[in-house]
Structure formats: C-alpha cells, structure tokens
Amino acid sequence: MPSDLERVLDYHERTAHRPGRYAASLGYLDWDTQPNPFRLYDGAERYALPRVHPHVSEDSPTWADLFRDPGPAPAALDLDLIGSLCFHAFALSAWKQAGASRWSLRVNPSSGNLHPTEVYLLAGPLAGLSEEPGLYHYSPLLHGLERRAALDAPAWQGLDFPGVLVGLSSIAWREAWKYGERAFRYCNHNVGHAVAALAIAAALHGWRAVLVDPLPDARLAALLGLGDLGLGVESEHPECLVALLPAGARPGLNVAALLDLAPTALAGQPNQLSESHHEWPILHEVAAATASAAATPRPWPPPPSPRACDLEVPAAPLVRRRRSAVAMDGRTGLTAPAFYDMLLRTLPGGQPFSALPWRPAVDLALMVHRVQGVEPGLYLLVREPGRVARWRAALPDASWRAPPDCPGELPLVGLREGDVRRHAALVSCAQDIAADGAFAVAMFVDLRAELEREGPAHYRRLYWETGAIGQQLYLEAEALGIAATGIGCFFDQPTRNLLGLPEADELRSLYHFTVGGRVDDPRLRTLDAYYHLDRS
C-alpha cells in the first residue's frame, strides 16, 4: 500500500494541468447542480453584526500604519469589534449585475468566486450576544452570527486566553462543481486568502492573528460542530483555527483545555446547497491522506516585523474594495521602487505572514514585463535564505544578479533577461492576463522535501502560504491604484521548463498570480454589498 506521502504526491501529479490534457473535471458547467454560495443554519438564533467600528474610519488607520511599530492601538473586545473584523475579512464587498444575473463578491478572494471557506467563531461571554461562551457560524449573506452551541464556562476560562478563536472549514463541493479533481488545491488556496484577510483585519483594529497549528482534524471538527453533520458531498472539512488577541497581549493558549472544549448540543440544521451532485472520490482520498493527527501546536511566532511602507492610503476601504481583475490592459506598469516595496512586503515576518507558525516554504519566480528601471525577464525571490543553495544548484546557468537599486534587504535576483510575455501566457494555460500585467508570479515549493520534513498534512499548509502571499499582493496592488488576480490554471512542466529546471527536479509551482492595470467590463452594474438588507 502506498504511504500517505506517496498518495499526496500522486494526487499532485494527477491533478497537474498539461498542454492537451487538463486535470479531470466535468469540462462544462452543470447549472442545475450549481451550489448555493451561502451556508445557513436553519433554526439557529441569529444576531446581526455592526459594520462600522469607531476604531476604524474612512481615513484612519492607513495601509502604512499596519506595517509600523507600534501599529494601531488595540480596540476593546466587544460586539463592535467582532462585527468590524468580519466586515473587513469575510463579508460581502459588492454585488454585480449583468442583465437578469446577479452575483456577490467578498472581501476575501476565492477561486472562481465559489467560496468554499466557512467561518466559525468561538467567543466568551459578550454583551449583545450571550452571557455564556458560545460557538457561532458567520454568515456573509446576513453579516451576522448564527449561534450553534453554548460552551462550558469553566472550560472556556481554562483556556487562559484573552481573545477569540476563529475556525475555518472548506466545502470542497463548491469548488469541485466547476474544477473537479483540482478542487482540493483551490480550497486550500482560499484558506490562505482567508487567514491573510483575517490577519490584516485584525491589524486594522490593533489585534494580532496566529494559527493554532497543527491541531488534530477530528478534534477541530468537533470543536467547530462539524463532526456529525452527515452532509455527504456537501460536508465541511475542518481546516484551521486562528487565535485573535490584542497586539500587546501575552501570547498563549491552553491547548489541552482547547481539545476538550467541544460543544455538545448543536442548534440549527445546515441548508442543502445543491439538489444533486457529481462525485470526485479522489478529493476524499487526499483529504484523508493530509489529515492532521498532531496535538502539539508549534510555538507562536514573534509579533510582526515592521516593513518599509510609504502608502498613506486609508486601509479599511482598501481591504473592502479589493477585486480580482478579469483582464489586464497590457499597458500599465510599475516603477522599480513600487515593485521592490511590494515584494518586500511578501517576505516572512511581517503582516500577514506572522500568522503562519511554520518555516516559510514558498519562493517566487517572477516574470517581469513592465517595471520601469527593471529589465523584462525572469527573476527569483527566495523567501527563506536556507534555500538559496538549493536553487543555485538547480539553475547553475542563471545570472544571479540583483536588479539596479534593489534594496539590500530584498533577496531578488535575475535569472535571465528578455521579453517573456508570450511564455508567461502560455504556461498560464494560454491566458493573456499573465502577459498583460506589469509582472506575473509563479509560487514554487520544494514539494517532496517539505512533505518529508513536515509530513503529508503540510500539503494543505503549503497552499495556505501561497494564498496568504496572493492576498498580500492583491492589497498591495489596490494600494497602488492597480489590480491583481490569482491564476489557478497553469501548466506545471512548462513553467519549470521556462525557468530552466531539470526535468526530474522536485521544485513545483502551486499558484500563479499577476499584477497590472485592470480592464473593467462596462456592461456590469455594481450594487452595495448589503443593499438586500438595507432596502427593507
């Protein structure tokens, strides 16, 4: 029998796109089975959340403030804070309408706008919610909480924790409806987007986010009330738990008490998302192979390191107006200082990467098209110094020269110069958007080495890290007045060939991304995020 490690590696190879042979999916959109993007718990008590917090205004804090030390002063833990955190991390950001069709967008991005990530909150007694600790489901549609269960008060006190806990889960069916066997990859990209969105929202309010990781999947499922839903294809897979605490608070959490905190009586019945389904058995197999059984979380990382940032752009409206571009204009570029600053804030240690407690695993191969003062070509940003020798051995013929005026603290090097626009598009499933931006990115990991060191469950975390990098690039682009988008469809081997990696090398690209000038569709009408609630 193959080991879990080999099962994961086999899944990755099986779901790699190749020219002329894409990963298995239906190959068309079955609109009769399109899943509802909103999970609701019918019969659960519901609480509307505030959207505006006095701590956060249209002018303050700025994007630069989130990367300074000290940052914004910590807000008090109350219902205003809970509402504002959700509003700036997970809520609806707008509705789009074309003719009779209407669909919602969210603050946190999602592959195909399908949003497999569900959000749960574990909080102590809170005025406006309950005098008891409780487990809640966050509904982006309602911008409200659904109370699923009370938690034992002495057990909650035993956590010795001054904040709140946020649990994330994935409904793989939402992604599988469109993407088939590749859905597991995209679900975990989206978890990374959501973790980073939450970390930035916490920083807005002077709070800090840190993953409590790893936790046993079975215990996390019980903690979030997911253990006995019996939903089959529509079931939720527990992903991670994020601890939120004031930035200056003593870090720590009684994990032994946490593992015994599971709620008992659950309120509310989950709604059905589709009337029929298509089965993708390999999604259950890879989920089982990557399940975590560990019960000893890593030490919490230190607080975020300050980063250079001169963008005095109001941060709250910035995170709420983030959009995924559907096309780039092929003209808009960046200055070299803006490009370097953007890449500096993808380095480990700062926001939002201080939420991730493992050793950074993802490096960035950049296809530069339109950066003033930087020659077009291929570049590499190795985010963990210990991997430089690994890359140099794999690419002995690269130039390895830093571009002009590159900051000394940014380990960016050139591989080769030349126009790579056509290649960027071709390796990204022939999508022009990868060539029409200012630059494109392929996010690489040393896949087998990472899984051998950390275990098969780390496969999910590698995608979380790429999603966090993507979310940071989204917001950096918005701060500069341009746009970005993730590219989930790319050809694995041709991407490696473009860099010049040997055929047998284990470096693998997990996510592509592009940044540039957005092309908007004038046929689309934009509606306010909560017009459907406000009009009543």
pLDDT of residue 477: 97
Give the pLDDT band (50/70/90) at residue 263: confident
| Residue, of 229 and 57, whose pLDDT is higher | 57
> If you average pLDDT over residues 123-140, what whole number do you get?
96
Evaluate whether 482 touches 518 at the Cβ level (below 8 Å).
yes
CB atoms within 10 A of CB 394: 17
pLDDT digits (tens, 9 = 90+) for 393-444: 999 999 999 999 999 999 999 999 999 999 999 999 999 999 999 999 999 9
What Å distances lie between residue 125 and 122, 162, 386, CA to CA?
10, 12, 45
Beta strands 377-381; 363-368: pairing state: antiparallel
- Cα(118)–Cα(41) distance, integer angstroms: 12
Q: How high is the mean pLDDT of the chain?
A: 95
What are the start-end ranges of the E strands in 300-438? 334-335, 363-368, 371-372, 377-381, 412-417
- Cα(143)–Cα(119) distance, integer angstroms: 12
327 is written with which tokens? 């096309």
Give the pLDDT band (50/70/90) at residue 252: confident
pLDDT digits (tens, 9 = 90+) for 194-251: 999 999 999 999 999 999 999 999 999 999 999 765 578 999 999 999 999 999 888 8
Hey, CA dihedral for 346, 350, 355, 360, is it positive or negative?
positive
| Residue, of 370 and 523, whose pLDDT is higher | 370
pLDDT of residue 284: 94
pTM: 0.98
Cis bond before residue 306 (omega within 30° of 0): no
pLDDT of residue 307: 81
pLDDT digits (tens, 9 = 90+) for 499-518: 999 988 999 999 999 999 99
58 is written with which tokens? 């249209």
- Cα(241)–Cα(220) distance, integer angstroms: 8
Is pLDDT at 521 greater than 90 in this prediction? no
pLDDT of residue 251: 84
Is pLDDT at 534 greater than 90 in this prediction? no
